[in-house]
Amino acid sequence: MNDEILYDLKSISKSFVKGKEQVTVFDGLNMSIKQGDFLAIMGPSGSGKTTLLNMLGGVDQPTGGEVWFDGNRVDTLSENGLAQWRANNIGFIFQFYNLMPMLNAARNIELPLLLTNLSKAQRKKSVATALELVELSDRAKHMPNELSGGQQQRVAIARAIISDPKLLLCDEPTGDLDRHTADEILQMLQLLNEKFGKTIVMVTHDPRAAEFAKRTLHLDKGEFVEKDLAA
Amino acid sequence: MSDLYLIFKNLTRKKLRLFLTMFATFIAFLIYGTITSFQAALDAGVELSADDRLVSVNKINFTQPLPISYVNKVRGVAGVEEVVHMNWFGGYYQDPRNQVQTFAVDKDTLLGVYTEIILTDEEEANWLQNRQAILVGESIARTNGWKVGDRLPLNSNIFSQADGKTVWQFDIVGVYTGADAQTDTNSVYIHYKYFNETQSFGGNYIGWMGVKTASPDLNEQVIKSIDDLFVNSPFETETVPEKAFQKAFIEQIGNIGLILTSVIGAAFFIILVIVGNSMVLAVRERTAEIGVMKTLGFKSVRIFRMVLGESMLLALMGGGLGLLASLGMIGLMNSVPAPLPTLIMDADVVLKAVGVMLALGLITGIIPAVSALRLNIITALSRG
């Protein structure tokens, strides 16, 4: 991890109307993520973890404050601008993998590359490299329903890293896996962080999963309580 | 992999649903292709009518006769180039159900007025020389297996000979083709003279006259001159351009266009509901996937295009197959002996069908496509 700030959230507020009530999730939240960080975010249900992750991924917008990524303000981007920004900078890993059921593993991994100008041959090469990295070269032609949960999550990881994003956002990436497979996935994330320098933010309920991160932030009622595990 | 590949994979992911919706579209376009070809064939009778040709009939109605003496009088009208008189023979071959459109005509002027009847020089010479000659159209000859040189007995369900027989013997001297693919070749022509001399009643009367004018510009003047010639006589005439006559003849059956349009309209309304509902369901089932694609960075407009493309592809696939099947159906209908015009699926029918397919795809796809366009990522992912 170097000292360069990748993500900077300045005095973020987020509220929405539920029924007749105004619900405030964040009110003046500040947060910085350095390049090369592996951050776990924990907290009880309703603490705002998923909302925060959605804002970091540019799929949800704050109602106040500023969001800076790699020196650029992103909370002012249009919907199309945000889509392009996500395609260029963010890799997503979901709890339930969210693979396209009608595409085989290789095609699923290739999906984000349709948003680039790479040629067919270049795309094929990148997919082969990603499959090798997640040790699924022999499963390239398998459909998602022919793969185990762990294998599906590895395909999802390959899809998340295929376009070489600066930040990986993981929403309970091991929530649907057994302990052993979960450890494999977490080791893979660790490898991506340590060997390939990927910045990772992971939301999890699992303290054991959080142990794989460099640091953990606890979120409660929209506020951080930082406990630096690495310290 | 491309967007088209994604569209195709989405379309084919539920095979049974694809089959059923495609089958529904297939049936709609089978009906559409066949019916519009039929309508086009009926219209062709009107469209192919020569602009410089008039039809002169008894003013009471066209089933009433006119004296044969009228023919020479009409020939003398300024602007008239040629006149052929015709009688309806009411012919059938072997079985009263096997009707043959038979016209007893003036042998010398038929080919001069109806230039779309194509014969070889030898056939034409034989037609003029043999009083028992009969010219048969290519289509009806093929249906009945007739050929030049055959002796053809034809019955009449209207007329009889002096000896009481209703059958006339003819020599097939020519099998005519049409100048245009849609020219009627289901009719046969016999000599009026032979018919008139042998029939037991109604002699020296004709059914109607086909009048060729020197120029379409003279039609109006010629029409007036002919009808004025016989005004206040026991056999007044009504002369109209051939196009108008053909149109009125077809419309006797009813408003064919309205009937056919109603059938097609009903078929398409049902298809619209079926395919539209299928598309809405298909996209709703994919809400989470659309959310994931948007999360990955696919722009909403691109997803809109993909969903619309899917419904277009579905309509084009099902419709294309239906149109091909209707081509087979038309071939089958043309090969069956029936007093129907020759059905042809021309470029106009195909282009209209493709237009209808695209419209169907657009209408059935627009609602799910707009839903996908507007879909909020958070909402979409929460439905996964």
Whether residue B298 and residue A83 make contact (CB cut-off 8 A), yes or no, is yes
Query: Does one domain contain both B26 and B74?
Result: no
Mean pLDDT computed over A128-146:
90
The parent domain of residue B113 ranges over 65-234
Which chain A residues are Cβ-neighbours of B377 within 8 angstroms?
Answer: 54, 59-60
B223 in any annotated domain: yes
Query: Does one domain contain both B192 and B287?
Result: no
Neighbours of A110 (CB within 10 A): 22
Mutate to test the interface with B, among A96, A103, A169 (most CBs of B within 10 A): A103
H or E stretch covering B338:
none
Tell me phi and psi for residue B320, to 5 degrees: -60, -45
B56 in any annotated domain: no
Name the B residues in 268-307 with CB < 8 Å from any A CB.
Answer: 288-289, 292-301
Q: Is the pTM of this model over 0.90?
A: no
Mutate to test the interface with B, among A14, A59, A124, A163 (most CBs of B within 10 A): A59
* DSSP secondary structure letters along B151-194: EEEEEESS--BTTS--EEEEEEEEEEEESSTTS--SEEEEEHHH
Question: Are the C-beta atoms of B101 and B94 separated by less than 8 Å?
Answer: no
Mean pLDDT computed over B48-77:
87
Out of B13, B296, B301, name the one closest to residue A111 (CB). Answer: B296
Query: Does one domain contain both B211 and B139?
Result: yes
| pLDDT band at A229; cut points 50, 70, 90 | very low
Domain boundary (B201, B234, B267) is at B234
How much is the pLDDT for B338? 58
How much is the pLDDT for A230? 43
B191 pLDDT more than 90: yes
Mean pLDDT computed over A57-84:
90
Whether residue B297 and residue A88 make contact (CB cut-off 8 A), yes or no, is yes
Query: Does one domain contain both B279 and B369?
Result: yes
Whether residue A84 and residue B292 make contact (CB cut-off 8 A), yes or no, is no
> How does pLDDT run across B128-160, given as a tens digit for each residue?
999 999 999 988 898 888 999 999 999 998 888
A228 pLDDT more than 70: no
B54 pLDDT more than 60: yes
Whether B15 and chain A come into contact, CB under 8 Å, resolves to: no
Mutate to test the interface with B, among A16, A55, A84, A86 (most CBs of B within 10 A): A86
CATH tag, A36-58+79-226: 3.40.50.300
Tell me the three state secondary structure of residue A218: strand
Query: Does one domain contain both B307 and B273?
Result: yes
Chain A residues contacting B, CB < 8 Å? 54, 57, 59-60, 79-80, 83-88, 92, 94, 96, 98, 100-103, 107, 110-112, 114-115, 123, 159
How much is the pLDDT for A177? 80
B230 in any annotated domain: yes
Which chain B residues are Cβ-neighbours of A81 within 8 angstroms?
Answer: none
Residue A228 distance to chain B (closest CA, Å): 30
Residue B340 distance to chain A (closest CA, Å): 49
Query: Does one domain contain both B93 and B216?
Result: yes
Domain boundary (B169, B202, B234) is at B234
Out of B1, B9, B299, name the one closest to residue A110 (CB). Answer: B1
Whether residue B297 and residue A84 make contact (CB cut-off 8 A), yes or no, is yes
Which chain A residues are Cβ-neighbours of B10 within 8 angstroms?
Answer: 102
| pLDDT band at B336; cut points 50, 70, 90 | low
- pLDDT above 90 covers what percent of chain B? 37
- Rounded CA gap, A25 and A3, in Å? 29
Which chain A residues are Cβ-neighbours of B289 within 8 angstroms?
Answer: 98, 100-101
